[in-house]
A and B are shown apart, each in its own frame.
Chain A
Amino acid sequence: MQLHGWGRFPRKDANLLEPSSPESFLEIVSEKEIAGSLIARGAGRSYGDSALADTVLSSRFLDSFLEINSTNDTIRCGAGVSMDTLLKVVIPYGLFLPVLPGTKYVSVGGAIAADIHGKNHHQDGSFCDHVERFSLLLSSGKTIECSPTENKDAFCATCGGMGLTGVILEVTLKLEKVPSVTIQRKSIPAANLEECMDLIEENEESKHSVAWVDCLAKGEELGRSVLHLAEHSQIGTKEYRSRKGPSIPFSTPSFLINKFTTQLFNNSLYKLRKQTAKRRSVNYDAYFFPLDNIRNWNRLYGGKGFIQYQLVLPLETARSGLREIIDRVSESGKGSFISVLKKFGNKNENLLSFPIAGYTLTLDFKNEKKVFPLLKQLDEIVLANKGRLYLAKDSRMSEDVFKSSYLSWEKFLEIKTELDPECRFASLQSTRLGLT
C-alpha cells in the first residue's frame, strides 16, 4: 500500500499493519520473519518520511482510554488516541491539554515521538514535559515502563526519538486545569520582522504567542506580520467543540499555488488580521486549529505534494539569521502559504527534541525541482547560525546537516542500540540521516 506523510512527499510502498491490541503488536514485533525496516505510525501528520518503512505499524486501534483521574489531573490512554478525542473527554472536567500542535488530529504517540511544541512553548515547554510515563514495546518483545525517573535513558531517547526506540503503547499525561476553553485573543500587526520580534519579547507573559509572517514582502516590509497572543478566558464555555469544515476531495493542480495566489493569500491575510487588531473571544478550536477547518488542505499543493521547512535559531543569532532567511525566501518568490514565527523557551533533556531557546520559523514550499537548491542554501544559513531543522517536518535534510546540528545524536544512537540491538526500528528518514 502506498503511504506518505502530510506533505504527500515522499511516498513509499509499505506493508501497513493495524494490530487491534497491544498483544498483537507484541506478536508482530516478536515475529522475526518480518523483513526490512519497521516503524510505528500514528495519524500520519508528520510531513515527511519519519513514519515510512517497509513495514508500518499503525496505532489506529490503540485508541482506548484506561483511566481519568480528576483528583491529580492525569489521564491514561493508548498511543493512538488523538488530541481531538482527548479534548472531547477532558474538557468537561475543566481540564485541557497543556501542549497542542496546529492540528487536533495528531496521535499521542506521534506527539511524544516528535516531542511536539505548541504556541505556549516559551512558558510551558514541549509535550513530553507533561508526560508522566508511557509503556514502550521493544524489538525484543519486552515492554518497559518509561518516565523521567524510571528508565530515564529510554524516556529521553523516545521523547523526540521519532519512533526509533520502539512502539509507545500506553501513555499517562498530566493535564492542565483551565477556567474555560474560550480563548481571549489579541492580534497585533507588525510592520516588519524587527517590530514583530520586539512585540514578541514585550509580550512574553502572554501564555500563547505566535506570529503569522508574510514571507514575500520585501525591503522595509520584510517580515511584516501579525502577532497573535492568547489566554484562556476566565469566563467562557466549558464545552468541547469540533468544527467540521469542507474537505478537499482530491489533489488540485498545483498551479493553483503559484506565486500569484500565494501572494494574494498572504496579502489578504495581513489586511484581515490588521482589521481585527484588538481583543476578541474565540473558541479554542478556531484559535488552535485554524487549518483543521478545511480537511485535506494538503491536497491543494497538487499531486507532487509539498515540503514544510521548520527551523530554529538560537537567541544570539535569531535576529540576523531570520532576516537572512526571509530575505532569501522572499527573493526566490517561492514563499509559502503560511509562515509561522514563534519564540521557544529553554530546551529539555530529550536527546532529539527540536526546541532550543530561540526563534522558530515554519515555511511551506511546493515540491518542485527548483526548491531543493533553495532549501540547501537555507540549510547553510541555519547551520551557520547554530540552528537546526524539525524532524517531524523534514523529508530531505542531509546526514551532514543533521549530525552537525543535533549534537546529541551519538548519545541517542547509543541508547537506541541498547534498546534495539538488531536495529529493527528504522524509517526512510532515519536511514537518510545515518541513524540506522
Chain B
Amino acid sequence: MNILLIGATSAIAKAVSRLYAERNARLFLIARNEARLKVLADDLTVRGAQSVDFHVMDLADTENHANAVSNAKSALENIDLALICHGSLPDQETCESDFEQAAQEIKVNGLSVISLCTEISKLLKEKKSGTIAVITSVAGDRGRQSNFIYGASKSMVSTYLQGLRGKLLPHDVHILDIRPGLVDSPMTAGLEKGVLWSSPESIATKIVNSIDKKKHTVYVPGYWRIIMATVRSIPEVLFKRMKF
C-alpha cells in the first residue's frame, strides 16, 4: 500500500503510520519539523515500512501544496491513501479579538486541508481509485463558546468532504471524515485528562479500521457519535447559555 501522510509528526498520525509500517507499506511523510521527520522515518523503517520518504514544509503555505503532492506522487508512484492529520488548537480568546490570528487558524485547520484535497483529488481521479481520509473533529459538530474558531474550521472541512465524496464517487475515490473526541496528545498537553480521553494509539487502530472498511464519517471512539448527537439536540435557547 502506498500512503501519503500529511502532518505526519502529529501524535495521531505517528500512531497510524506505525500501524501501516507493520503492514510493510510504502510511506511518504509531510510535516514542518525536519528533525522529527527524520526520527519518524527511521522509526517506521525499523517497524517494517517498505520505504519511507519525506518532504518538509509549513502546511499553511498553500501555494507549495501542488509541489509537495507531486513529490509524493513521484516517490510513491501511486497514492492509495492520503491521510491529512495536521491541525492546531488555537486560543479562542485571542482569535476573538485578533482577526489576523483567527484567519491564520482557519487557514491551517480549514483552507490548507481543502487546498491539499484539491491537489490529491486530481491524482486519484486520474487513477480512478484511492482514499482521502481527513482528521476533522467533534468540535465541528456544533459551535461552542470556548472553541468556535477551531470548530468552524473543522466543520468547513467536514461540509467540504461531504460534497467531495459525491463528486468523486464516479471516479471510485473514497472519502473518509474522521472525527476524534478527546485525545491525549501534545495538542492537549496542558489539559486535565478524564475518562472520556483516548490515547493516540487506540484512535489510530480505529482510524485504520475505518479506512479498511471504507466508512464515510466516523466518530472515534464510537461513543462520541452519541455524545455529539446529544450536544446537537440541545435547543439553541439553552445552548447559547452554555459556556463549555
Contact = CB atoms under 8 A, between A and B. Distances in A.
Contacts of B46: 65-68, 75, 77, 89
A18 B22 contact: no
B43 interface: yes
B42 A65 contact: yes
How extensive is the interface on chain B, given as a class?
10 to 19
A65 B47 contact: yes
B87 to A, nearest CB: 16
A18 B189 contact: yes
Interface in B178-208: 186, 189, 192
Contacts of A77: 46
Interface string A55-75: 000000100111110000001
Interface in B103-140: none
A68 B46 CA distance: 6
Contacts of A65: 42-43, 46-47
A67 B35 CA distance: 16
Nearest to A64: B43
A75 to B, nearest CB: 8
B237 interface: no
B39 interface: yes
B240 interface: no
B79 to A, nearest CB: 25
A35 interface: no
A88 B22 contact: yes
B190 to A, nearest CB: 10
Nearest to A249: B195
A21 interface: yes
User: Per DSSP, are chain A's interface residues mostly helix, strand or loop, or mixed?
Assistant: mixed
Q: Which of A65, A67, A68, A88 has the most CB of B within 10 A?
A: A65
A23 B33 CA distance: 13
A261 interface: no
A66 B40 CA distance: 9
A21 B36 contact: yes
A89 B48 CA distance: 8
User: Per DSSP, are chain B's interface residues mostly helix, strand or loop, or mixed?
Assistant: helix
B22 A64 contact: no
A18 B35 CA distance: 18
Interface in B1-22: 11, 22
Contacts of A66: 39, 42-43, 46
B40 A18 contact: no
Contacts of A21: 35-36, 39
A130 to B, nearest CB: 18
Contacts of B186: 18, 20, 61
Contacts of A89: 46-48
A166 B39 CA distance: 22
Contact of A67 (B40, B42, B48, B189): B42
Nearest to B42: A66
Contacts of A67: 42, 46
Contacts of A75: 46
A75 B46 CA distance: 9
Contacts of A88: 22
A20 B42 CA distance: 16
A1 B192 contact: yes
A75 B42 CA distance: 12
Contacts of A68: 46
B39 A64 contact: yes
Contacts of B47: 65, 89
Contacts of B39: 21, 64, 66
A218 to B, nearest CB: 44
Interface in B25-54: 35-36, 39-40, 42-43, 46-48
Contacts of B35: 21, 23
Contacts of B43: 64-66
A148 to B, nearest CB: 24
A67 to B, nearest CB: 6
Q: Which of A18, A20, A92 has the most CB of B within 10 A?
A: A20
Interface in B45-93: 46-48
Given A18-B189, A20-B36, 10 more contacts: A21-B35, A61-B186, A65-B47, A66-B42, A68-B46, A75-B46, A77-B46, A88-B22, A89-B47, A89-B48
User: 5 closest A-B pairs (Cβ-Cβ)?
Assistant: A65-B46, A64-B43, A65-B43, A68-B46, A64-B39
25 contacts: A1-B192, A18-B186, A18-B189, A20-B186, A21-B35, A21-B36, A21-B39, A23-B35, A61-B11, A64-B40, A65-B42, A65-B43, A65-B46, A65-B47, A66-B39, A66-B42, A66-B43, A66-B46, A67-B42, A68-B46, A77-B46, A88-B22, A89-B46, A89-B47, A89-B48
